[in-house]
Amino acid sequence: MRIDPHHGVVGRAAPRTDALAQASGGLVYVDDLSYPSMLHGKILRSPQAHARIVSIDTSAAAALPGVHAVLTGADLPIAYGLLPVAQDEHALAIDKVRQVGDAVAAVAADDPDIAQRAVELIDVVYEPLPVVATMNDAVEIVDEPIHGDGPRNNRHREVSLDFGDVDAGFDRADHIREDVFFYQGNNHAALEPHGAVALVEDDGRLHLWSATQVPHYLHRIVAKVLEIPEHRIRVTANPTGGGFGAKTDVFAHELVAAKLALATGRPVKLILTREEVFYAHRGRHPVLMWIRTGFTGAGEITAMWFRTYVDGGAYGSYGPASLLYTGQLQTTTYRIPAYRFQGVRFFTNKPACGPKRGHGTPQPRFGLEVHLDKAAEDLGLDPVTIRERNLVHPFSTTVNHLRITSCGLADCIERVVEASEFRAKHRNLPPNRGIGLAVGAYMSGAGLPIYFNDMPQSEVLLKVDRGGLVTVYSMAADCGQGSTTMLATVVGEALGLDAADLAVVTADTDLTPIDLGSYSSRVTFMAGNAALEAAMKLADLILTAVADELELDTDDVRLGRGVVLAGDREIPWPDAVRMAEARWGLLTAAGSYKPPKGIRGDYKGAGVGPSPAYSYSACVAEVDCDPETGFVAVEQVWLAHDIGRAINPLLVRGQIEGSVHMALGETLMEEQAFRGALHDGPSLLDYKIPTALEMPPVEAILVESIDPEGPFGAKEVGQGPLLPVMPAVANAVHDALGIRVDEIPLRPDKILAALRDRERDGQGRYGPTDLPAYEFRPPLPVDPPPELR
Amino acid sequence: MRYDADMVEPQVEPVRLEVNGIERRLFVAPHRTLLETLREDLGLTGTKHGCELGECGACTVLVDGVAVLSCLALTLDADGAEIVTIEGIGSVSHPHPLQRSFADHGAAQCGYCTPAMILTAKALLDRDPHPTDREITEAIAGNMCRCTGYLPIVRAIAAVAAEDRP
């Protein structure tokens, strides 16, 4: 049922409910926690990328005064991983290490200095093994694969799927284009390093605080690895100092802090250094792509073949899902009548990759949008027209069985093209200036939970006290995106109350009902819907009680702003609440959300990509390039985003501007690069992110398509707006200089190399040409949905 | 370097700081940073740790009115100095105009860089009450923010500067 807002709470650009706490330094992050007799944990990490552990001697560390516990892999022997299909990690290495930075041993000591001294006294003897540093290395079948000795060796996962008749699609094409792209990996660089605090509560239960986006998954994995029943563990997610996916995995330090607290019986704090954060990583996967697309003479896509080669690093993490994401969402923006997707993820001896804002989709989106721009040029079309000719239709089904509902993409394109004067500027700007267009789409929450179950993905509990205070309980973890404010706003709108007048209790497994976590842009849609359902039930209880008390028909009683309107009377909210408590007893209401059935296909891999709704974005970027230095200055960005409905426009615009910042960092300067298997610069000095001086003006344009299933029509905004920025800049550089850098980041040296290539009568291109010598298995045919057959 | 198990604790030295208007006399080890002293000895956790190498700016405090990276400053070097942390300029109940403006403009998302950003802005406005947007941008260029793209931060600071204009 579609519910429209009418109390003026939703749609108001209001500050976050915790904004003043943030601005006054009062918000308590995990590193701000302190407990009496608290110890400090430290992890010893491997300097070797791939090595057998011959021996570990911890005796000197254990003997150091002030050291209370020393752990090695033998103390935490159970393997884990966030995905059920990727149980390949240990909290502390057992038998061998697989990347520089792997956790090998840990201590708890009276202060951080002693802890540091203690880990340096641990003597580990390694026997180095051949290092697999690149995807080309990982293709080879080797004697000592990174994980086990199964038939796949270092080839972690493979996908090979055919949707519709791909060969026939190419046969009927008037024009076929092939391109190769590379997208380098990069790190989230959230300002707050990861950390955890653990202690044993008075009742003997373990309490773990962590800077995590996924308290529920952390809860399950701590129970598994420590062999303690879930009900004997409490997990609290502190507000995180930035997430972006960095804190959606479970990490060694969380398990080690918990184990050290149990081993010592004392509170233990363990905060990572910035260098450790770069080695913990779980950031953007490096992806090499090969794309082949057939077009009619008019520019309509007849078939697409998309291959991705994904460098996973040393562990599975979210990788099996990341791999599928490199192929699944191409169909959400364009009608692709026949689609072949082949992808492979390799293990290499480098920090494990995982989800970063956009999870697996920015890389193929970059490739696809630049590829389309090139095809438009081949066909004599402009970049707007080729996209408009292929736009996905609202309320349709894609060839790979994704259900599209509301879609404001056409509006997004029109709005950015108009605002930027794209048509007048494209091909017409002065020398070295250029303008580029690209689009993107993202999920409003993954349709399936990480572990298979049929229970709700978000639950919200409301409780009302006699003073009229409504408290919202939800496990949703605020990682800066504003989920706590969103919950207060949705419930406030439904009840006619100011968001700032509600209380919200979040992210605590003892106190709050399930929310699967702050990942896949799921919280507004899913927790928002659960909150809305609970609020509607609560409203019904209160209105019924007031109607009965005043002997009115229920149709004559409705909610006003802070009051119940009963006939010609206005009952103040607290009075109405007391009437309802007298009638019903303790006032509570619960809401649950799980995505509708039937939004996915039934092929292997169909679980990744479905979402109850997709957000859409279009971006235009204007650049000024210096052909002498290769430096690209982004002068302005226009970004239109189909948000469904903006629950809080201030926070929505913030997500758009923030996405542009992160996207420009990836586009121009950020890369998690390696020398062999050693990180090129695991510090924020070496790993550059844009400062205020590199940030151009951003015109954020909100398009409200009012999704029929979103809470008050809302969809996501945390990740989608990032996606079109990288290709928009790359297309703008082409417009400016006439060259193509088919790689991210677009470093100045690559721009100069492409300019030199053009001078040598080349194509004016810099980018990859060769693909790993990997043979995909024949694609598994999947019938398109009935309406496309 | 390797430490010997029987290595002696470094000698502590006396230091006098004026922190948020209150005189604090402490004994600290020579290697203790101002960040550690503020957070761990004085419990002023509004100052944040982001990189411990002077790269991110999250630990910025005011030392004698100048924005300083407290992770690179030794406490002993601050002997006799006046130090202002985020707790010293306002609170949830009595926010400083910059704190109020940051809240109203959505200038904080995760909030981790916010205290340092506000102190950097305060140092700027104290020496130049009416900076241009460009001057604001230059002033905060040493403070990283990963959430907002800086734009609402510049708007928040500019709004305070405009309010103050006669």
Domain end (from A574, A593, A612):
A593
Asked if A648 and A742 sit in the same domain, the reply is yes
Residue A325 is predicted with a pLDDT of 98
Residue A542's closest CA among A568, A577, A491, A586?
A577
- A31/B108 CB distance under 8 A: no
Furthest-apart CA pair in chain A: how many Å?
89
Question: For residues A307 and A184, is the Cβ–Cβ distance under 8 A?
Answer: no
Do A630 and A579 belong to one domain?
A: no
Contact residues on chain B for A688, CB-CB shorter than 8 A: none
A787: pLDDT confidence band, cut at 50, 70 and 90? confident
Domain endpoint, select from A546, A577, A593: A593
pLDDT at position B1: 37
Mean pLDDT of A376-403: 98
**Statement to judge: residues A624 and A704 lie in one domain:** yes
- The answer to whether residue A340 is domain-embedded is yes
Q: Does A468 lie in the same domain as A573?
A: yes
A376 and A272, same domain (yes or no): no
ipTM: 0.97
The nearest alpha carbon in chain A to B152 belongs to A654
Q: Is B97 on the interface with A (CB under 8 A)?
A: no
Using the Cβ of B132 and the Cβ atoms of chain A, whether some distance falls under 8 Å is answered with no
Beta-bridge mates of residue A463? A471, A588
pLDDT value, residue B10: 66
pLDDT in tens, B37-74: 999 999 999 999 999 899 999 999 999 999 999 999 99
What is d(CA A350, CA A749) in angstroms, rounded to the nearest whole number?
Answer: 25
Does A6 fall in a domain?
no
Residue B29's alpha-carbon distances to A199, A404, B83, in angstroms, are 28, 62, 19
Mind listing the pLDDT tens digit for each residue in A453-466? 999 999 999 999 99
Contact assessment for residue A186 and residue A283, using Cβ atoms and an 8 Å cutoff? yes
Q: Which residues of A touch B37 (CB under 8 A)?
A: none
A408 and A523, same domain (yes or no): no
Q: Are residues A98 and A47 in the same domain?
A: yes
What's the mean pLDDT when you consider all of chain B?
Answer: 94
Residue A643 and residue A732 share a domain: yes
The pLDDT assigned to B164 comes to: 67
- A91 CA to centre of own chain: 23
Residue among B53, B106, B118 whose CB faces A654 most closely: B106
Q: How many domains does chain A have?
A: 3
Identify the DSSP state of A732. H
* 3-state SS, residue A783: coil
Domain that holds residue A462: 455-593
Q: pLDDT value at position A92?
A: 98
Q: Do B5 and A34 touch (CB under 8 A)?
A: no
When pLDDT is averaged across residues A409-423 and rounded to a whole number, the result is 98
Beta-carbon separation of B51 and A32 below 8 A: no
Q: What are the strands of the beta sheet with A123-128, ordered from one edge?
A: A96-97, A51-57, A123-128
Please report, for the domain that includes residue A255, its CATH number: 3.90.1170.50
Cα dist. B82→A26, B23, B33, B67, B115 in Å?
Answer: 22, 9, 16, 12, 18
Q: How close B80 gets to chain A, by Cα (Å)?
A: 24
The verdict on A559 and A523 lying in the same domain is yes
Inter-chain touch A661–B108, beta carbons under 8 Å: no
Q: Is the pLDDT of residue B8 over 70?
A: no
Flag whether pLDDT at A348 surpasses 90: yes
Q: Tokens 């109390």 identify what position?
A: A7
Final residue belonging to a domain, choices A526, A559, A593: A593
Whether B138 and chain A come into contact, CB under 8 Å, resolves to: yes
Tell me, yes or no, whether A147 lies in a domain. no
Minimum-distance CB partner of B149 among A23, A651, A657: A657
pLDDT at B2: 45
The 3-class secondary structure across A86-114, one letter per residue, is CCCECCCCCCEECCCCCEEEEEEECCHHH
Instruction: Say if A773 falls within a structural domain.
Output: no
Provide the sign of the torsion angle of the four alpha carbons B73, B78, B83, B87, taken in this order: positive
* CB contact at 8 A, B146 and A692: no
Both A478 and A333 in one domain: the answer is no
- The DSSP bridge pattern shows strands A175-183 and A587-593 to be unpaired
Are A270 and A40 in contact, with CB atoms under 8 Å apart?
A: yes
* Cβ atoms of A441 and A480 closer than 8 Å: no
What's the rounded mean pLDDT across residues A534-539? Answer: 98
Place of tokens 């203690």: A118
Residue contact B95–A658, C-beta within 8 A: no
- How do residues A13-26 score in pLDDT, each as one tens digit? 999 999 999 999 99
- A318 and A349 in a common domain: yes
Q: Cβ(A480)–Cβ(A521) under 8 Å? A: no
Quote the percentage of chain A above a pLDDT of 70. Answer: 100
Q: What is the pLDDT of residue A4?
A: 85
Domain assignment present for residue A436? The answer is: yes
Six-digit token pair at A145? 């694969």
Mutation to test the B interface, candidates A17, A24, A666, most B Cβ within 10 Å = A24
pLDDT tens digit string along A593-642? 999 998 999 999 999 999 999 999 999 999 999 999 999 999 999 999 99
- Closest Cα in chain A, distance from residue B135 (Å): 10
A1-48 pLDDT, tens per residue?
A: 567 899 999 999 999 999 999 999 999 999 999 999 999 999 999 999
Give contacts of A26 with chain B, Cβ < 8 Å.
46, 91-92
Average pLDDT for chain A: 97
A586 in the same domain as A490: yes
Dump pLDDT digits (tens) for A273-302.
999 999 999 999 999 999 999 999 999 999
Residue A788, in any domain of the structure = no
pLDDT at B52: 84
CATH of residue A553: 3.30.365.10
Q: Which of B43, B44, B53 sits opposite A685 (nearest CB)?
A: B53
For residue A383, what pLDDT is reported? 98
Domain assignment present for A780: no
Q: Does B8 touch chain A (CB under 8 A)?
A: no
Peptide bond into A351 cis (omega under 30): no
| Residue A223 tokens, joined | 């129970």
**Phi, psi torsion values for A659, nearest 5 degrees:** -65, -40
Residue A705 lies in a domain: yes
Confidence of residue A149 (pLDDT cuts 50, 70, 90): confident
Tell me which residue of A632, A748, A732, A782 sits closest to A369, measured CA to CA.
A732
What domains can you pick out in chain B, each with its CATH number?
Answer: 13-88 (3.10.20.30), 97-163 (1.10.150.120)
User: Is B86 in contact with A22 (Cβ distance < 8 A)?
Assistant: no
Question: Is A691–B142 a contact, with Cβ atoms under 8 angstroms apart?
Answer: yes
- What is the rounded radius of gyration, in angstroms, for the C-alpha atoms of chain A? 27
Task: Determine the pLDDT at residue B3.
Answer: 47
